[in-house]
């Protein structure tokens, strides 16, 4: 039996061997990192050494790394924490949160939640390539700068791989005195990240997207920014994220980010070549189109979103699944929800076009033969899916 082909790394990527080894070692130990006895201090040492590794890999200071259960929690912490902090500081209820129409639901739904509580929500539009309108951002900053609690813009889109000009966006925000955050879940491990040089005030990441374990993430937050905690308890993580930390998970995350960062340049070149091969082969099929930026330098090396005219994405997905190929119709966090991608619709695609798209996401386990098998299976798969709708 042929081994399955896994082309859904944007949903979760297989764990790195180094991360499994690091976790296995820590799972044999005992000790709460907040305890003062020897076992607790040993656990704290592993925690802080891992924090230092993650910070060094991302151009941050160790004190700026706040561990969370994942990027969803980190996104909630920055948006809710920024709004609550501003409300504690001022009686002005006319606060604004600014984000984009193509964010992950962890940001969009959190923003909508604070909007239902009286905060004004401004959504930045994108063009057909999925890039935000910087002129619109300038206008919003000029109009609302003193009332904006936080601006949040995704670094790289999880469905299309489109990379936003984060440094330029952060520069505009900082000149306006606005707190700026980026959901960098897909960017970490795929692009060089220099938190200190980016101009960002905060950044979210999730370990299982770069070969670490599920259940561990972090919010990088500059020490000078003011946030209010979203959950309360023992006061861990700068009193912003209470709760006993998963030392084994943190160690696994540190091991994964270290190896991902060290291999980043070579791996990026390898994945870009495979992505280009995939796109070229897919677009050779009549009625297919790339959803995203044509310039490879403006997209993640490992994500290709392709629309197949005359098909339903769900039909394609199941036919490829039967052929032993795993891919996605969009964000895994909305799996099972039968609706077109909000990202593609925001990019100007019709509901029918958005409902015909598949996301192929590559990673450290992807090989050239995987792409060959996909391209060999695609033409017949597309034809079968089109016959369903005739």
Helix 105-115 × helix 71-89 angle, to 10°: 30
Q: Check pLDDT > 90 for residue 53.
A: yes
d(Cα 300, Cα 111) in Å, to the nearest integer? 25
The model's confidence at residue 6, banded by pLDDT at 50, 70 and 90, is: very high
Predicted pLDDT at 266:
97
Residue 67, classed as helix, strand or coil, is strand
Q: Assess whether 327 carries a catalytic annotation.
A: no
d(Cα 25, Cα 259) in Å, to the nearest integer? 17
d(Cα 280, Cα 284) in Å, to the nearest integer? 6
Model-level pTM?
Answer: 0.95
Domains with residue ranges and CATH for the chain: 5-14+264-389 (3.90.1150.10), 17-261 (3.40.640.10)
> H helices within the chain, ranges in order?
17-27, 38-57, 71-89, 105-115, 134-144, 166-175, 195-198, 236-239, 247-262, 264-283, 313-322, 342-346, 351-354, 368-389
Q: Check pLDDT > 80 for residue 348.
A: yes
Q: One of 57, 311, 327, 333 is an active-site residue; which one? A: 333
d(Cα 79, Cα 259) in Å, to the nearest integer? 30
Predicted pLDDT at 294:
81
The model's confidence at residue 89, banded by pLDDT at 50, 70 and 90, is: confident
């Amino acid at each position: 039996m042929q081994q399955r082909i896994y082309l859904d790394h944007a949903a979760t990527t297989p764990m790195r061997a180094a991360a499994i080894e690091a976790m296995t070692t820590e799972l044999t130990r005992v000790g709460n990192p907040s305890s003062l006895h020897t076992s607790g201090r040993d656990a704290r040492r592993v925690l802080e050494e891992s924090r230092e590794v993650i910070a060094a890999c991302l151009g941050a200071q160790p004190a700026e790394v706040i561990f969370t259960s994942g990027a969803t929690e980190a996104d909630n912490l920055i948006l809710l924490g920024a709004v609550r902090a501003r409300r504690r500081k001022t009686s002005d209820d006319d606060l604004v949160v600014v984000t984009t129409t193509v964010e992950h639901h962890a940001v969009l739904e959190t923003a909508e939640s604070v909007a239902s509580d009286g905060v004004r929500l401004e959504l930045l539009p994108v063009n057909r390539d999925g890039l935000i309108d910087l002129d619109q951002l300038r206008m919003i900053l000029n109009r609302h700068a003193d009332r904006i609690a936080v601006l949040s813009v995704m670094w790289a889109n999880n469905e299309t791989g489109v990379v936003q000009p984060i440094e330029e966006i952060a520069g505009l925000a900082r000149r306006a005195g606005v707190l700026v955050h980026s959901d960098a879940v897909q960017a970490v491990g795929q692009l060089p990240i220099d938190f200190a040089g980016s101009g960002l005030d905060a950044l979210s990441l999730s370990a299982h997207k770069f070969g670490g374990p599920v259940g561990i993430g972090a919010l990088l937050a500059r020490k000078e920014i003011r946030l209010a905690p979203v959950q309360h308890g023992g006061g861990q993580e700068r009193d912003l994220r209470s709760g006993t930390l998963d030392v084994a998970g943190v160690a696994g995350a540190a091991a994964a980010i270290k190896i991902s960062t060290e291999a980043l340049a070579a791996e990026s070149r390898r994945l870009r070549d495979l992505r280009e091969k995939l796109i070229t082969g897919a677009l050779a099929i009549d009625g297919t189109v790339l959803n995203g930026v044509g310039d490879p330098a403006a997209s993640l090396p490992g994500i290709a979103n392709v629309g197949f005219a005359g098909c339903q994405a769900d039909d394609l997905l199941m036919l490829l699944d039967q052929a032993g190929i795993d891919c996605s119709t969009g964000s895994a966090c909305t799996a099972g929800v039968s609706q077109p991608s909000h990202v593609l619709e925001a990019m100007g695609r019709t509901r029918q076009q958005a409902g015909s798209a598949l996301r192929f996401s590559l990673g450290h386990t992807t090989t050239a033969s995987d792409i060959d098998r996909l391209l060999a299976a695609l033409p017949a798969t597309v034809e079968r899916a089109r016959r369903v709708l005739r």
